[in-house]
Amino acid sequence: MLSALGTWFRQNAKSSRTSPLVSVLTQQSSCSAHYFVSTSSAVKEHNDDDEPPEDDEDIHKDFPLMGRENAVQQPMERAEVTRCLRLMPHSPWMRLHESAAEGVVARYFTQYRRRLTRTLFAPVYSHASRLCTDIVQDAVEASFDMPAFLEGASSALEVTYGLLGSHQYDTLRGLVTAKLLQAFRRASNELIEEQELKLVDISAKVLTMQPVCVNLWGPKSVEQFDPAWINCEAGAHVSRSWLVQTVTVDCNLDMRYQDTNSGSELVQASLFRHGHVLFARGPLPRGRRESLDNLPWRIMGVL
C-alpha cells in the first residue's frame, strides 16, 4: 500500500479513469525520495524563454485565469492559510481517542447526517466537482481527471494514517508538511500523557470524498507549512505557484492502542471523522500544460 501511495503522488490526475494506484513501486524504501525529488524534475523538461522573477504582487501571472483575472484568489488564499493554521492542531483529525459514549453518539449521529448531507447537497457537490475540474483543465492541466484524483487522494489519506499509527514519521516527512506532521506527533504524545494509551495501529477507510474548492498558493503561504517544500531547484521554466485542492472527507478510523502502564494491547476502537483535507502540488511549470503526471501531490493540511 505504501508503494502504491508513492505511485499516486507522482502520477496522479491522469486523464485515464483507471486508478493510478494499480502501478506499484518495487522499492518501497525509496518512496519518499522519489516523491520529493520529482517536484523539480517534473517541470524542468519544459523549455520556456527566460523571464525575470515576478514581484509578490503578481505571483500567479503565469495562470491569469486563476490569478490576475480572479479577484477572489488572494483573499481566498489568505483565508485558507489562516484557517488551516489555526484549526489544524484542534481539528477532529487530531482526536485519536474518544469514550465509548462519545463514539456511539458520534457514529450514529454522523452516519445519518452524512446520508442526509449527501442527499440534500448532491447537486452542490456535483457542481463543485465540475467547477474545480474546469478551472484546473482550463488554467493548469488540460488532462486533469477529478475521479482519478479523488481515488488516489483517498488511498493517500488512508496510507498516511497507517504510517501515523505505526509511528513511521521519517516516511511521513516526504508525504505531508512539517506543520501537519508536528500536529500528528503532538496528538500522539497527548494520547500517551492524557489517556496513558500508545497507538499501535490505525486502519483508515475513506467513505466519501468530495471536492470543495481549488486555488493557487504562493511560496510565502506554502513556507508557513513547510519551508523545505519551496527549497527545490527553480528556473525560468518554473513558476512560484502551487495548486491547492481542498476536499471534504468522511472517514472511519479503526484504532488499536496499548496501555502504557500494563503493556497490554486494548480492544480496537472505531472512530468516525469528518473534515477537510488540503492537497497540493508545485511549484507548477509556467502556464497551462497538457499533463503534469510527474508532479507529485502532497498533503498540505487538515481541518
Instruction: Give the chain's mean pLDDT.
Output: 77
Cis, bond preceding 283 (omega within 30 deg of 0):
yes
Residue 250 is inside which H or E element, if any?
strand 242-259
**Residue numbers of the domain that contains 204:** 2-302
Residue that wins the pLDDT comparison between 181 and 11: 181
120 CB burial (10 A radius; 0-12, 13-18, 19+): exposed
pLDDT tens-digit readout, 121-137 = 788 888 889 999 999 99
The domain tally of the chain equals 1
pLDDT tens-digit readout, 35-69 = 223 333 333 333 444 343 444 557 888 898 887 66
- The Cβ of residue 91 has, within 10 Å, a number of other Cβ atoms equal to 19
Residue 130 confidence (pLDDT): 93
Residue 108 confidence (pLDDT): 67
Residue 262 confidence (pLDDT): 77
pTM of the model: 0.79
Q: Are 106 and 254 in contact (CB under 8 A)?
A: no
Asked which of 26-30, 158-162, 178-182, 272-276 is least confident by mean pLDDT, the reply is 26-30
* C-alpha dist (Å) from residue 294 to 23, 209, 291: 14, 23, 8
Residue 11 confidence (pLDDT): 47
User: Residue type at 171?
Assistant: T
Q: Give the integer Cα–Cα distance in Å for 58 and 27.
A: 41
